Amino acid sequence: MITDFLIVGSGIAGLSLALKLSEFGKVLIITKKQKAESNTNYAQGGIASVLGKDDNFELHIEDTLDCGAGLCDRDAVEKIVKEGPTRINELIEYGVRFSKDKDHLRLGREGGHSRNRIAHAKDLTGKEIERALLFDISRNKNIKILEYFFAIDLLTESNIRKDIAEKLPNGKKSSKKCYGIYALDAKKEKIIKIVSQKTILATGGLGQVYLHTTNPAIATGDGFAMAYRAGCELSNMEFVQFHPTSLYEKEVEDDTQVFLISEAVRGAGAVLKLKNGKEFMHKYDKRKSLAPRDIVARAIDNELKKSGEQFVYLDLSAIGAKRIKERFPNIYEQCKKRGLDITKEMIPVVPAAHYACGGVKTDLSGKTNLENLFACGEVTMTGVHGANRLASNSLLEAVVFSDAIYKYMKSNIGDIKKYEFLTRTELKSLAENIYEWDDSGTKNTEEWILISHNKKEIKEIMSDYVGIVRNTYRLQRALTRIKMIKKEIKEFYNRTKVSVELLELRNLVQIAHIIIKSALNRKESRGLHYMLDYPDRDDFNFKTDTILEKKNKLHD
């Protein structure tokens, strides 16, 4: 299969980019499940931007930098903030119906924001965005979507016959290039090569490497792992964001996505409380329940360790029943389905893995260090989020940076088509000279239990030792175990015919390894990476935690 532009992933990043790149040629989107299934589809709170009269760019920039704990790239932050209003208008032109008060967008508030600036579609913002973008795509003749196509690995020089590789444009330059991907057609159980002039990774997040996550089952970190194997630079992988408020449920099955209680609920006035009904966030931050996520999640974690309880409560009584049903209809319904009337009762909540702040490093045009390979959305590290993402900046980053790729193509399209694009005949010939997927020596396995056991083990290790609060001893322990499991998986992979489950397992162990190593390399506490060995706070409220951890260490 050949195409001009290959986009891997059908979330907000991939879809919004596809609509734009279709101006320059044929766009093929491949996606591992049904096309709407993505992190985007579950986004609740909304998309942050300077849209209110009392707001300005400097305030949004400052909030983002403050949240990012000194690691944001100011240029990247300024870019998303300043382009925000234009991109939101563009989404409205694509047909996204944001909630409004008469003719003004209704703006919500979330943790770490000093102003109301979150455009939303009630509490189903992501679903509405997917609906609108997919509708536009269905009417665009230059875009094709293949569902249930799983990207396995990027095609680079090592997959092409050497004499052919050297004859390609810029073929003798030393930098690595990407020529497309190997993909598993999951329905036909067949592996194919997709050769493209330009490839874009828009594969989303990695929450499934933890036991409890707000992310759907697709979020197994495939893009990060694929890019890493192909030689891409990854950065800031230690900064995994835990959302403070996922719904606590007693029995959660493995791989189940836990249900999120949007931060917008706290933005509307809900307050975190202990089981005894007392508030606690004032002890940790003057912004109380609306402090940035790293602080709130760590405070909850600390209170749970002190009390031995399983959850804290979110009290919505200040919002009022009418407003709860009108502003948060999905949260209301989902809780009701589980027997909880949130207009009358408090919601039991716990932190859950939510977002990858690190990822494939790109420049401000979305270019990676592999020629012909671009990336946008959650899989990237653009410099926007630093050590902790500000709420609702993710959807914004995704649309701004997919637009950056489009702008780069638009301003260089003459030269790109002249010097970088291959002719159709050359592209076909390149495809013929790429090695077929080699599965000699492999066979179908009956041992599915090994896959599910390994997966569970990885998730347990990550949750137990690489969670909200870390220390070197625990990280080392996690590393030793993950290395052993990785070796086992490699051996199993080498003798087994690939399947979606096996490919996901291979990626999960790969990213677990990368997260742990990145965490060990950062010898300080910063943002989401809180190390007990390097406590950098005077805040005595976290000391109990330190003492508890030291005790545990003695007993380990």
Q: How many CB atoms lie within 10 A of CB 80?
A: 26
The 451-490 site mask, x for binding ligand FAD (CB under 6 A), equals ----------------------------------------
**Contact pick of 213, 257, 392, 471 for ligand SIN (by CB under 6 A):** 392
- Please give the single-letter amino acid code of residue 177: K
CA torsion sign for 378, 379, 382, 385 is: positive
- Taking CB under 6 A as the criterion, which residues in 252-281 touch ligand SIN? 262-264
Only one residue has tokens 């196509």, namely: 149
Phi, psi of 232 (to 5 degrees): -75, 150
Tokens 């965490």 locate to: 519
Tell me the closest approach of the beta carbon of residue 46 to ligand SIN, in angstroms: 7
Active site residue 293: yes
Residue 44 sits in the site that holds ligand SIN (CB under 6 A):
yes
Please select the residue that binds ligand FAD; options are 24, 98, 150, 182, rule is CB under 6 A: 150
222 binds ligand FAD (CB under 6 A): yes
By CB under 6 A, tell whether 382 contacts ligand SIN. no
- Three-class DSSP labels, 10-33: CCHHHHHHHHHHCCCCCEEEEECC
124: DSSP letter = -
Minimum CB distance to ligand FAD, residue 130 (Å): 8
Query: 213 has which bridge partners?
Result: 257, 353
Q: Is 289 in the site for ligand SIN (CB under 6 A)?
A: no
Q: DSSP alpha helices (H): ranges in 273-382?
A: 293-307, 321-327, 329-337
Q: Report how far apart the first and last C-alpha atoms of the chain are (Å, whole number).
A: 54
Q: Which of 18, 72, 370, 398 binds ligand FAD (CB under 6 A)?
A: 398
Are 264 and 317 within 8 A, CB to CB? no
Nearer to ligand SIN, 219 or 264 (CB): 264
Residue numbers 340-379 binding ligand SIN by CB under 6 A: 355
- Bridge partners of 350, per DSSP, are 246
**What is the Cα–Cα distance from 315 to 347, expressed in whole angstroms?**
7
Stretch that binds ligand FAD, among 331-339, 344-352, 358-366, 386-394 (CB under 6 A): 386-394
Q: Which is nearer to ligand SIN, 235 or 262 (CB)?
A: 262
Tokens encoding 196: 């493209």
Distance CA 36, CA 114 (A): 33
Q: Shortest approach of ligand SIN to residue 394 CB, angstroms?
A: 5
- Give least dist CB 120 to ligand SIN, A: 8
Q: Tell me the closest approach of the beta carbon of residue 39 to ligand FAD, in angstroms.
A: 3
Query: Quick one: what does residue 205 bind among ligand SIN, ligand FAD, none, with the CB cut-off 5 to 8 Å set by partner type?
Result: ligand FAD
Residue with smallest beta-carbon separation from ligand SIN: 45
Count CB atoms within 10 A of the CB of residue 231.
16
Is residue 64 a contact point for ligand SIN (CB under 6 A)?
A: no
Burial 471-500, CB ≥16 within 10 A → b, else e = beebbebbbebbeebbeebeebeeebebbb
Q: Decide if residue 30 touches ligand FAD (CB under 6 A).
A: yes
> What tokens were used for 148?
């249930």
Query: What are 125's two structure tokens?
Result: 């913002």
Instruction: Decide whether 18 or 291 has the Cβ nearer to ligand SIN.
Output: 291
- The interface region with ligand FAD, picked from 32-40, 171-179, 319-327, 427-435 by CB under 6 A, is 32-40
d(CA 433, CA 429): 6
Which of 87, 266, 293, 389 is catalytic? The answer is 293
Give yes or no for residue 391 binding ligand SIN (CB under 6 A). Answer: yes
| Segment near ligand FAD (CB under 6 A); pick from 33-41, 234-242, 275-283, 408-416 | 33-41
- Find residue 146's DSSP bridge partners: 30
Least distance from ligand SIN to the Cβ atom of residue 393, Å: 7
Site string for ligand SIN, 448-467 (x = CB under 6 A): --------------------
Task: List the one residue from 156, 257, 394, 525 that touches ligand SIN (CB under 6 A).
Answer: 394
Question: Would you call 8 exposed, middle or buried from its count of C-beta atoms within 10 A (0-12, 13-18, 19+)?
Answer: buried
Q: What is d(CA 17, CA 402) in angstroms, rounded to the nearest whole number?
A: 5
Structure token digits, residue 525? 């506490």
Measured from the CB atom, is 253 or 556 closer to ligand FAD?
A: 253
Beta strands in 156-297 (DSSP E): 180-185, 190-201, 234-235, 240-247, 271-273
Closer residue to ligand SIN (CB): 169 or 329: 329
Question: x/- string (CB under 6 A) for ligand FAD, residues 341-380?
Answer: --------------x---------------------xx--
Decide which of ligand SIN, ligand FAD, none touches 145; Cβ closer than 5 to 8 Å per partner kind: none
Choose, by CB under 6 A, the member of 9, 11, 14, 45 that binds ligand SIN.
45
* Residue entry with tokens 């090569």: 193
40 binding ligand SIN? (CB under 6 A): no
With a CB cutoff of 8 Å and minimum separation 6, the contacts of 453 are none
128 binding ligand SIN? (CB under 6 A):
no
Round to whole Å and give the CA distance between 291 and 272.
11
Residues forming contacts to ligand FAD in the complex (CB under 6 A) are: 8-14, 30-33, 37-40, 42-47, 125-126, 150-151, 202-205, 214-215, 218, 222-223, 260, 355, 377-378, 392-395, 398
Residues acting as catalytic residues: 293
